[in-house]
Amino acid sequence: MELSRTNHNQTEKARISKKGNTIMVKKLLSQVKEYKADSIKTPLAMVLEVLMETLIPYLMASMIDKGVEAGNLPYIFRIGALMLVLAAVGLWAGIMGGKYGARASMGFGKNLRQAMYENIQTFSFANIDKFSTAGLVTRLTTDVTNIQNAYQMILRMCVRAPISLVCAMVMAFLINARVASIYLIAVILLACVLSVMIRITMKYFSEVFTKYDDLNASVQENITAQRVVKAFVREDYEIDKFHKASGNIYKMFVKAENMIVLNMPLMQFTVYTCIMLISWVGAKMIIQNALTTGELMSLLTYCTNILMNLMMLSMVFVMITMSMASAKRIVEVLDEKPSLSNPEKPDYEVTDGSVRFDNVTFRYNEGSENPVLDHVNLDIAAGETIGILGGTGSSKTTLVNLISRLYDVSEGAVYVGGKDVRAYDMETLRNEVSVVLQKNVLFSGTILENLRWGDENATEEECIRACRLACADEFIERMPDKYNTYIEQGGSNVSGGQKQRLCIARALLKKPKILILDDSTSAVDTATDARIRKAFATEIPNTTKIIIAQRISSVQDADRIVVLDNGRIDGVGTHEELLKVNDIYREVYEAQTGGSGDFDENGGEGNV
Amino acid sequence: MSENTQAKPVKVGGPGRGRVMGPRPKLENPGKILSRIMGYVMKFYTPHIFVVVICIVGSVLANVQGTLFLRTLIDDYITPMIGQATPDFGPLLHAISRVALFYLLGVACAYTQARTMVYVTQGTMQRMRNDLFAHMSKLPIRYFDTHTHGDIMSIYTNDIDTMRQMISQSMPQMLNSTITVVSVLISMIRLNVPLTVITLVMVGVMMFTAGKVVGKSGKYFQVQQEALGKVNGFIEERMEGQKVVKVFCHEEKSIEEFKELNEQLFDSAYNANKFANMMGPINAQLGNLSYVIIACVGGALALGKVGGFTLGGLASFLTFNKSFNMPIMQISNQLNSIVMALAGGKRIFDLLDEKPEADEGYVMLVNAKKENGRLVECQERTGLWAWKHTHQADGSVDYVELQGEVVFDGVDFGYTDEKMVLHDVKMFAKPGQKIAFVGSTGAGKTTITNLINRFYDIQDGKIRYDGINVNKIKKADLRRSLGIVLQETNLFTATVKENIRFGKLDATDEEIIAAAKLANADGFIRQLPDGYDTVLTGNGANLSQGQRQLLAIARAAVADPPVLILDEATSSIDTRTEKIVQDGMDKLMSGRTTFVIAHRLSTVKNSDCIMVLEQGRVIERGTHEELIDQKGKYYQLYTGNAITE
């Protein structure tokens, strides 16, 4: 939502960079692909329909002039039949136009969605961080819908309206150039006024939409913060705030819309003025025998036609400009280049689970001064269990994310199995280094389906074994459908601890050489947490295990514990060693056990 | 002109605003909703609507006048002048200026109508938004539990939008078209009845075909809705879990799955739009067909001199035929958007009809001071609070000092009557005591605190606050006496200062800074670009989870309530930082009854009473030492020594 808000402000900028817009539109249009033929056929069909539509009034006029007025019944029948033929052609063209238009635009939308989705799949973690989740969702849904509707409008109207305008104009000039020139003047005048109006309206609207988005954002905020509002008894305060904001929106909308409502009367005024002028000039010409009555009638029919089309054009133009914001957001995703890529001759084999950090420095942004990791050196042998401890913001997660090359180091190198991670095929590397993320998600589907993310071909027995290792089997067995229990979107029907255990089981199914748990048992009670770790030690002894935790108990029995502080390694050693030499470790330990510790925490057996 | 000119509005920005809509399941009582919407509009804008109706009639008449003028122009002015040696243009000029006057009036009417409608539409929107928001704020928490945030948001965006469409466009258009249809129909009947019948039959054919096509496209629109829902759901879930997709190298499979759903969406969207697009051309050409038939039949009638029908009459009739079909088409175009608006209106009114949080409480919280050992109500803030208890029987008033004693007596509670979450909970918190709740997720810890401030009402048992049944206390006063820091921190789009001030609206800057210092938030706030005036957006997106919790603590601190509820208030603050915050927390808690939910021992251990909850029951209670000695569940959780179940 935030992104959409800022984008409204960019309408100003967009106007300046006309060139950028052309590139952007080209980029978008490259996604039309297999619907190119439909995209060309649509306007062609529309042109045919317009031609029929222009001819029919002409025939109607002659039907009245030469048929009805003259009482010539056969002529009426003849023209009637001709009209029917034209109408049939028009019908066919119209239907085809509708069909091709629908296919072209919906296909275009489909391709855009697919292209964006596919590109997002190539995103690295750094790319994903750049766009917010909500931002990506909006781009894939609302923005694509906007563009595909605008595309349909353009295909069907953009050609149709000018052609229709030109046709009507040509017909008018064919009938009588002198009278028709009145139209030309009117059209030019009206076009000028309209373009000025569009400009002002656009400005107003981009302002009002920004505010409107803000208003909706504040509603959203209030919905989520409902408990806080109620707890502090601030309902009236919030209502007041909202009333002020909505009053403001009201004023802005009224201002913007008052501009728009000028359109219709202005248009009517022009039409009526034309009718008056043409009646006057036409009447004089008829009397001078320079014009017939029938011709005058036709001229007047074309009058509305011409001006309606002009109106339509202005509307299409407004819509195109308005959908530019969506276009921009879509192109941003399409243009995003993944910040990581496979090496040219990738390595497809990870020999063992050893990890080495060689003077690693890492920054999330190239430009930022303070590195997140600062000259980190660390050697982890295959099969070792390593605990990582440190306060919030000490870069624990960042450190482990470098192992499976979710980010690339800024300086130095990370080695897995003795080779630089940048030398591996990324998929191979990530299959061997299994990470249980801190912010983890399950997907809607059965438990088995979720587990098989780890290994597509895992048998049910293998899945059950993984769950047993992760201590997930106990609650799964208690569920009515056991392993076929359906997990709702976002895993809303399992508790936090259950979710974490399922995520661990899923990661285990990969049978990785290195297993990383990033604070993955925080919602699991201490006893279960201990059981999981015990199972790891006995069942997968050869897997390198790296465990990030807040609780000392989770890392205490690791082979070695790494204490991180502000992106630097503050100490490495066993529990006992660190207690002796490391201040931070001791402090955390004491905080968690001695006087005031962590509740669902193994407080260190000897200390209770 | 005959083309379906009704533009699909392209909207910019905002999630979900571009939701494609198709016909929805049948509404139960469309008439009732329509009249309710009308009532809503008329309540404040009756004079405006009156003006609008007059203006619409005015512009329709001006238009008809124009159509008629064309004939009189030729028949009465031009034709007689042809062949005259010295034609007198005076009468013509006169006639033209008279018509010009009508036209001018028509333009003025159109402008007035459009302009007035802006006020009506935007004003109604504003009122609706305000009413929705005000009503929503008064709804019980239960409502937010049972409705997704997305659905509620969609009322403010999509449904309000359909209302705008209906009020500003569909309604005037319908009115305009109806008036036109009626006046043209009358003129047609007066000219020739058989031809009118033919025209009506053709209109019937048009409606029938339109109905068929709409039905077909409607069917596909429904399929499209479903497909779109699936695609959107998939996108949401996968974007949320994109990092997991990366970690599991699931990209290829993910693309395949998406492709399939995307293809389904295309199929239905294509078909739905294809049929919708056919409407325009079909109607236009059927209109032409109608014209030709009338011309032929009418020609035959006129030439056969049946019923005194003349050629001039036929010419007029043909003009009417054309101007009859158009408004009919417009009406059918508007019908769909009206149906959609009614569905939107239903959802709006559903929210407005939700029962607000009931409050039968009458005991109020007032400032008090002691005079001769007796409590006396006063206006100024004394730091001493009293419950003002007006006895309903005789109207006499009692004052009870607010001390913060909370008693649970055999409380049963369930979010639904079928499934109880708490069973027979007993608790006794003396003023100034610290009570802690521990237990695994889902044991009912948070639920208990939600009962103290009456977010939910209990099924059985009693909760007393300073000896008063909480049901008798006005909810606002009850909640004002309770400070709360929730597990999930919610900040507002406002400055840091305003966010803290949320706790006490009249807090001075000094009080705010003092509260921030107490919560140990002062340090990081000063490092923000604008210090206390830094604007937070997106729930404090630019702050860490821990920093947000510190702000929430400061917010509760500035409110200075006698009773505190801390629900995992420090869960996201790391142990080292928590130690620093702890001092502030201790200061905050001293002298106040405090309910603490925490999984960290540091916050729990020095409590006066620790209650261990399991599956909604209190299974152990006592001080830390007592519970350790008991060697029960608490001991087990605390030491991590698993006792196999």
Query: Domain range spanning residue A53?
Result: 28-335
CA B136/CA A361 separation, integer angstroms: 50
pLDDT band at B24 (very low <50, low <70, confident <90, very high): very low
- Which residues in chain B are contacts of A315 at CB distance < 8 A? 7
Q: Does A244 share its domain with A323?
A: yes
pLDDT in tens, B144-179: 877 777 778 778 877 888 888 888 888 888 888 888
Average pLDDT in chain A? 79
- The number of residues making up chain B comes to 645
Are A330 and A381 found together in one domain? Answer: no
Nearest residue of B to residue A498, measured between CA atoms: B441
| pLDDT score recorded for residue A500 | 82
Q: Report how far residue A119's alpha carbon sits from residue A134's, in angstroms, rounded to the nearest whole number.
A: 17
The residues near B203 (Cβ < 8 Å, ≥ 6 apart) are B290, B324, B325, B328
Tens of pLDDT, residue by residue over B292-325, are: 888 788 877 877 777 677 766 777 787 778 778 7
Q: Say if residues A92 and A311 touch (Cβ distance below 8 Å).
A: no
Q: What is the least distance, in Å, from the CA of A213 to any CA of chain B?
A: 6
What is the structure's pLDDT at A368? 62
Task: Give the number of other CB atoms < 10 A from CB of residue B496.
Answer: 25
Report if residue A141 sits inside a domain: yes
Tell me, yes or no, whether A350 lies in a domain. Answer: no
Q: What per-residue confidence (pLDDT) applies to B216?
A: 79
**Same domain, yes or no, for A309 and A165?**
yes
Q: Indicate if the pLDDT at residue B641 is higher than 70.
A: no
pLDDT at position B11 is: 33
Domain of residue A155, CATH code: 1.20.1560.10
The yes-or-no verdict on residue A216 having pLDDT over 60 is yes
- Does residue B600 have a pLDDT over 70? no
Residue of B nearest to A118 (CA): B255
pTM: 0.73
* pLDDT score of A601: 36
Contacts of B263 in chain A (CB under 8 A): 110
Q: How many CB atoms lie within 10 A of CB A130?
A: 14
State whether A294 and A367 are in the same domain. no
- Between the alpha carbon of residue A96 and those of residues A235, B8, B274, B281, the distances in Å are 56, 20, 9, 10
Q: Which residues of A533-560 are buried (b: 16+ CB within 10 A; e: fewer)?
A: beebeeebeebbbbbbbbbbbbbbbbeb
Which residues, 6+ apart, have CB-to-CB distance to A107 below 8 Å? A32, A34, A35, A38, B266, B270
Averaged over A18-22, what is the pLDDT? 68
- Please report the sign of the dihedral spanned by the C-alpha atoms of residue B389, residue B463, residue B456, residue B505: positive
As a whole-number percent, the residues of chain A with pLDDT over 90 amount to 1
DSSP B244: H
Burial class (CB in 10 A: 0-12, 13-18, 19+), B530: exposed
Minimum CA–CA partner of B633 in chain A: A600
Cα A147 to Cα A187: distance, rounded to the nearest angstrom: 29
Cβ-Cβ contacts under 8 Å, A603 against chain B: 601, 638-640
Of A120-124, A495-499, A504-508, A600-604, least confident by mean pLDDT is A600-604
Per-residue pLDDT of A133-162, as tens digits, reads: 767 777 887 788 888 888 888 888 877 888
Which carries the bigger pLDDT value, residue A7 or residue A97? A97
To test the contact with chain A by mutation, choose from B288, B291, B440 the residue with the greatest count of A C-beta atoms within 10 A, namely B288
In a domain, A12, yes or no: no
Interface contact flag, A489 B237, Cβ < 8 Å: yes
Residue A237 and residue A363 in one domain: no
Q: A240 with A272, same domain?
A: yes
Token duo for residue B465: 């606050």
Last residue of a domain, one of A280, A307, A335: A335
Q: Which of A53, A224, A443 shows the shortest C-beta gap to B237?
A: A443
Q: CA Rg, chain A, in Å?
A: 35
Is it the case that residue B361 has pLDDT exceeding 70? Answer: yes
Q: Across the interface, which of A138, A305, A595 has its CB nearest the CB of B1?
A: A305
Contacts of A94 in chain B (CB under 8 A): 3, 278, 280-282, 284-285
Q: Which residues of A touch B129 (CB under 8 A)?
A: 215, 242, 246
Separation in Å, CA of A75 to nearest CA in chain B: 10
A486 touches B: beta carbon within 8 Å: no
pLDDT of residue B28: 66
Domain final residue, candidates A306, A335, A364: A335
Residues 61-80 of A with CB under 8 A from B: 63-64, 67-69, 71, 73, 76-77, 79-80
**CB interface of A with B, residues 389-418, below 8 Å:** 391-393, 404, 406
Answer whether residue A594 shows pLDDT above 70: no
How far apart are alpha carbons A83 and A554 in whole angstroms? 86
The answer to whether A300 contacts chain B (CB < 8 Å) is yes
Q: Chain A to chain B, count of Cβ pairs less than 8 Å apart?
A: 515
Residue B103, pLDDT above cutoff 80: yes
**Does the residue A125 lie in any domain?**
yes
For residue B636, list chain A residues with Cβ-Cβ distance below 8 A. Answer: 527
Asked if A288 and A365 sit in the same domain, the reply is no
How much is the average pLDDT of B459-465?
Answer: 87
A18 pLDDT band, cuts 50/70/90, is: low
A129 and A237, same domain (yes or no)? yes
Measured between alpha carbons, how far is B364 from B476 in angstroms, rounded to an integer? 9
Q: Residue B48 belongs to what H/E stretch?
A: helix B30-72
Nearest to B565 by CA among B396, B477, B393, B448: B448
A601 domain residue, yes or no:
no
Query: Contact B441/A523, CB-based, under 8 Å?
Result: yes
Token pair for A597: 């510790």
Q: Among A241-245, A323-327, B191-195, B544-548, name the most confident range.
A: A241-245
| For A603, nearest residue in chain B (alpha carbons) | B639
pLDDT at position A16 is: 43
- Residue B599 CA neighbour count, 13 Å, CB half: 22
Query: Which of residues 207 through 236 in chain A touch B, CB cutoff 8 A?
Result: 209, 212-235
A32-78: pLDDT as tens digits? 888 888 888 888 888 888 888 778 777 877 777 777 667 777 887 88
- pLDDT given for residue B50 in this prediction: 92
C-alpha A415/C-alpha A61 separation (Å) is: 85
Q: Which two tokens stand for residue A188?
A: 């030019």
Last residue of a domain, one of A304, A335, A366: A335
pLDDT category of residue B47 using cuts at 50, 70 and 90: very high
The answer, yes or no, to whether residue A193 has pLDDT greater than 80, is: yes
What pLDDT score was predicted for residue A210? 73
Interchain pair A599, B153: CB under 8 A: no
> How far is the C-alpha of B583 from the C-alpha of B604, rounded, in Å?
14
Nearest by CB: B575 against A94, A592, A605: A592
Among chain B residues, CA nearest to A496: B441
Domain contains A67: yes
What is the nearest CA distance from B372 to chain A, expressed in angstroms? Answer: 33
**Residue A551: predicted pLDDT:** 75
A146, A214: one domain? yes
Closest by Cβ to A300, choosing from B10, B11, B70:
B70
Give the pLDDT confidence score for residue A371 in this predicted structure: 76
Minimal CA–CA distance to B101: which of A308, A185, A276, A299?
A276
- Is B247:A437 a contact under the CB 8 Å cutoff? yes
Residue B643 confidence (pLDDT) above 60: no
**Predicted confidence band at B577 (pLDDT cuts at 50, 70, 90)?**
low
Q: Do residues A222 and A269 both lie within one domain?
A: yes
Query: Looking at the DSSP assignment, which residues form a beta bridge with residue A562?
Result: A388, A572
Return the higher-pLDDT residue of B23 and A114.
A114
- Tell me: do A273 and A372 sit in the same domain: no
* Distance between CA atoms of residues A220 and A291, nearest Å: 66
For residue A453, tell me if it sits in a domain: no
Residue A456 lies in a domain: no
- Suggest the residue from A600, A605, A607 to mutate for an interface test with chain B (most B CBs closer than 10 A): A600
Question: Residues near B192 by Cβ (< 8 Å), separated by ≥ 6?
Answer: B298, B301, B307, B309, B313, B317
**Per the structure, how many domains does chain A have?**
2
On whether both A411 and A366 belong to a single domain, the answer is yes
Examine the pLDDT at A1 and tell me if it is beyond 70.
Answer: no
The percentage of residues in chain B with a pLDDT greater than 70, rounded to a whole number, is 88
Residue A524, domain CATH: 3.40.50.300
pLDDT tens, A217-260?
A: 788 778 777 778 888 778 888 888 888 888 888 888 888 888 87
pLDDT (mean) for B12-30: 44
- How would residue B51 be classed by pLDDT, with cut points 50, 70 and 90? very high
Q: Rounded to an integer, what distance in angstroms lies between the CA atom of residue B580 and that of residue B520?
A: 7
Report the alpha-carbon distance of residue B122 to residue A542 in Å, rounded.
69
